[in-house]
Structure 1
Amino acid sequence: MLTAPIGKTLKDMTIPMVMGMIALMSFNLVDTFFISLLGTHELAAISFTFPVTFTVISLNIGLGIGTSAVIAKTIGQKHYHLAKDQATTALIVAVLLVAALSTIGWFIIDPLFKLLGSDDNTQPFVIAYMKIWYFSSVFLVIPMVGNAILRASGDTKTPSMVMALGGAINAMLDPILIFGIGSFEGWGIEGAAIASLIAWMIGAATMLYLLSNRRQLIDLAVPKSSAFVQATKTILKIGLPAAGANMLTPIAMSILTAIVATYGHEAVAAFGVGSRIESIACMLVLALSMTLPPFISQNLGASQHGRVQLAYKLCCKFVLLWQLGVFILLAIFAPIIASAFAQEVEVQQTIQTFMWIVPLGYGLQGIVILTNSSFNALHLPSTALKLSVLRLFVFYVPCAYIGGLMFGILGLFIGCVVGNILMAGVSYVSFNRYFRTVEV
């Protein structure tokens, strides 16, 4: 990462991550597909859960960002023993924080989802799913933060294999546990949550074995108190603001879901499907947002700022072109995708409208995501947090809301694109302005 050609290095790191991301994102997409076969109320229920589950996942992502940034910089400085203490500490702290957040969420399931707009038709399905999901989230944190440790060391192939393992297990178990097989009648929407629980438990055990025995990147014992405290402070200094920035997304999505709910459960169901398709459509951007930060942090540790700037600009140009191609494909296949994920005509039509408009802004959204991840990698989490606030609560949600007031659900979708256009410009200018300041 410090000497090889930038483009080739990022490509070699990102391709395995893309394969892993396909498997990881399949969790939501596979769950959504099979749950959609249960009915519109079940599909709407899983749509209501998305902002909340993404809140917990965002904490995992944020802690992973802090872990990757700190460990990669330490490795760039060639302090390998310190990096091992930091990795061990990161896993312990992450498990404790996610367990605390999920425990709080478990006790407020009913009032929280009623606040989000869930009614008597969807609430029983929401409660059944989330009671299991909150428990399983503790096992999810280990492979997610473990993947960040591996990426910080420059290994993106192993994380992709772990993600693929989890995705494959989930995909195999979903239809069996949801609909049953033979004399087993299945558990409905609860079966989807149990399938994820089993997949994450296996992923957690696999990751701990890889990190401790195969790669020796962590110790199975708690580091000395002084090293633990110092590593915790260093990681949380970046990880908590990064987690906070990531948590703003589900908060904004909760607000947006509540707005969409005013158009009916059909609109909520369609918006939930669109959101999950978005996670697949933007998987390359998300993969780059995981491989670019360790590249930046290691070069930051080695004081090679020129490589940082070139890598960022190269990634921004690439995602704009790539996501334009993704938009064209989604626009062409929108009717087929809509019919696969919905049975009601109104839901199908809204899904098609979503895919003909919202993906047009995915490339610009990619610039925003890469900029935020780059600032975290530069150990500037407060800047990334400020940009996240601007994106969601100054541009994205307000533009969508205003568009909805003017033109209904069509205008809401157009507003999402406008918000991404405005924020992409702010993000790109902010990154370049920072390096002009550094150079001065």
Structure 2
Amino acid sequence: MSTADASRSLIHAPVGKTLWEMTWPVIFGVATLISFNVVDTFFISLLGTDPLAAVSFTFPVTFTVVSLTIGLGIGTSAVIARKYGSVRPQEAHFDAFGALSVSAILVLVLALVGYLLMEPIFSLLQAHERLMPLIREYMTLWYAGCVMLVTPMVGNAVLRASGDTRTPSVIMASGGLANAIFDPIFIFGLGPIPAMGVQGAALASVISWASGLILIFWLLNRKKLVSMKPANELLFITAWIKSAREILKIGLPAAGANILTPLAMAVMTAIIAAYGAPAVAAFGVGTRLESLASIVILALSMSLPPLISQNFGADKIKRVRYAYATALKAVMIIQAVIYVLMALTAHWIAAAFAEEQEVAEIVQLFIYIMPLGYGLQGWIILTNSSFNAIHRPMNALWLSVIRLFVFFVPLSYLGSLLADITGLFIGGVVANLITATLAYFWFSRELRRFGE
């Protein structure tokens, strides 16, 4: 299907069918990628509790860089999809070049700052001194290669904005497969390749990003979705600045909203650190299991915005409203089924990811409580992405602030004071319930401003 045909499909085809056709390839790609990330956690867990705890401490930091990239991808998708919807393809193609270049620059700067401030950052996270050598081994390689992470992710946003969700899924899956293949080789060694431990896990990630970088460049060039020729006869630098401003206007607030998540997780990690390394290790496993359990939510957060943005650009607000409602219903039903499956298999899941009994018990407790709120969390995430899709990035940013720092962290901490780790998990579920209700009514009110 050509880019023009895909755009027409998003604007005119039945909403439910279109959303499903866009989402199922993304579900496959996200499921494959996250499954391999869970495999990554499994291999690291075989090294022992300290390596697992060390890598768990890196999650808030690495996710900060990833969140910036995701936010820029959201800005890219919103700007480009709206231009396809309003039939301005030449501008969309130049915006793709602007997005790729500005994203690489920003991630490079953030990685450099993170590397230079590695010691103070992890000290603030309450990482024990004995874990610092392992953290340094992992993060030095991770920072060195993470610039290669940004181009495939933003490139995938360019493809999704054009209506193509299948190709990005293949790219995600291939990157995850490469990571899963190289993980055991570099972590434990094979033949002439020495065992590198946690550093091997970082090297496997860098190699998988490099393969994605090559693939996305080839695909974007073949599909002719990127152009360095400005529209409307503008000078190159003038057009680039204009494009960068449009993308950053949505991308930076979206990145800010995404970066709030690892900041909140950093606070949560610091709180949990008071319970010892087994609790931190268990929480690290739990956050990765959360990603696996939230595959449909993550897939819809990628497929829903292009559908909304293109219809928003074509002034089809009724289709925007219907797409949003359809996505919310789907995640509630699917997440309820996932919770039942996780609860029934909690014992075996915990045993697979924890060698120590204390770690396994906390993982099992996490599974019984936290997934109860994943459907509600899905409402929040989809509302956030929908706000960005209709070019209301500050609404999305404020929603993230409210969710994480007005409700999630405070209620989780209050719960921990009342009932230790059990109370902490319950507080998180209550926070999702309150924020999901607020998010739904807020987005509905925003759409009423545009009428039908």
Shorter-chain TM-score range? over 0.9
Counterpart in the other structure of 1:296: 308
Structure 2 letter corresponding to 1:319: V
Deviations along 1:21-54, one digit per CA (max 9) or x if unpaired, are 0122235312211000000000000110001100
Match of 2:347 among 335, 348, 362: 335
Counterparts of 1:388 and 1:429, CA distance in 2: 15
Counterpart in the other structure of 1:218: 226
Q: Does 1:364 align with 2:376?
A: yes
Counterparts of 2:90 and 2:320, CA distance in 1: 25
Instruction: Give the TM-score normalised by structure 2.
Output: 0.96
Counterpart in the other structure of 2:4: none
Structure 1 residues 27 and 136, CA gap change in structure 2 (3 angstroms): farther
On the 8 A contact 2:94/2:229 being kept in 1, the answer is no
On the 8 A contact 1:23/1:166 being kept in 2, the answer is no
Deviations along 1:306-364, one digit per CA (max 9) or x if unpaired, are 00000101110110110011111110111101111010000000000000000000000
Structure 1 letter corresponding to 2:175: G
Instruction: Report the Cα offset of residue 381 of structure 1.
Output: 0.2
Structure 2 letter corresponding to 1:189: V
Structure 1 residues 250 and 162, CA gap change in structure 2 (3 angstroms): same
Counterpart in the other structure of 2:254: 242
Structure 2 letter corresponding to 1:406: L
Deviations along 1:279-327, one digit per CA (max 9) or x if unpaired, are 0100110110011000000001100000000010111011011001111
Counterparts of 2:342 and 2:368, CA distance in 1: 7
Counterparts of 2:68 and 2:57, CA distance in 1: 19
Instruction: Report the Cα offset of residue 120 of structure 1.
Output: 2.0
Counterpart in the other structure of 1:21: 30
Counterparts of 1:289 and 1:143, CA distance in 2: 17
Deviations along 1:60-83, one digit per CA (max 9) or x if unpaired, are 000000000000000001111110
Structure 2 letter corresponding to 1:123: M
Structure 2 letter corresponding to 1:218: V
On the 8 A contact 2:317/2:451 being kept in 1, the answer is no
- Secondary structure of 1:218's match? coil
Instruction: Report the Cα offset of residue 220 of structure 1.
Output: 6.2
Counterpart in the other structure of 1:274: 286
Counterparts of 1:350 and 1:357, CA distance in 2: 11
Instruction: Report the Cα offset of residue 221 of structure 1.
Output: 7.7
Match of 1:90 among 87, 99, 123: 99
Instruction: Report the Cα offset of residue 225 of structure 1.
Output: 1.1
On the 8 A contact 2:229/2:236 being kept in 1, the answer is no
Match of 1:167 among 166, 172, 176: 176
Structure 1 letter corresponding to 2:311: N
- Secondary structure of 1:122's match? helix
Counterparts of 2:263 and 2:23, CA distance in 1: 29
Match of 2:149 among 140, 144, 160: 140
- Secondary structure of 1:368's match? helix
Structure 2 letter corresponding to 1:5: P
On the 8 A contact 1:27/1:196 being kept in 2, the answer is no
Structure 2 letter corresponding to 1:80: P
% identity of equivalent residues? 54
Match of 1:400 among 399, 402, 412: 412
For 1:31-180, list aligned pairs within 5 A. Answer: 31-180=40-189
Counterparts of 1:391 and 1:122, CA distance in 2: 31
Match of 1:351 among 343, 359, 363: 363
Counterpart in the other structure of 2:438: 426
- Secondary structure of 1:379's match? coil
Counterparts of 2:93 and 2:450, CA distance in 1: 30
Structure 2 letter corresponding to 1:129: Y
Q: Bigger CA drift: 112-121 or 255-264? A: 112-121
Tell me how many residue pairs correspond in the alignment.
Answer: 439
Counterparts of 1:184 and 1:384, CA distance in 2: 46
Instruction: Report the Cα offset of residue 114 of structure 1.
Output: 1.3
Instruction: Give the TM-score normalised by structure 1.
Output: 0.98
Deviations along 1:218-251, one digit per CA (max 9) or x if unpaired, are 1368981121111011000000000000000000
- Secondary structure of 1:439's match? coil
Instruction: Report the Cα offset of residue 438 of structure 1.
Output: 2.9
Counterparts of 2:85 and 2:451, CA distance in 1: 21
For 1:226-237, list aligned pairs within 5 A. Answer: 226-237=238-249
Q: Bigger CA drift: 218-227 or 350-359? A: 218-227
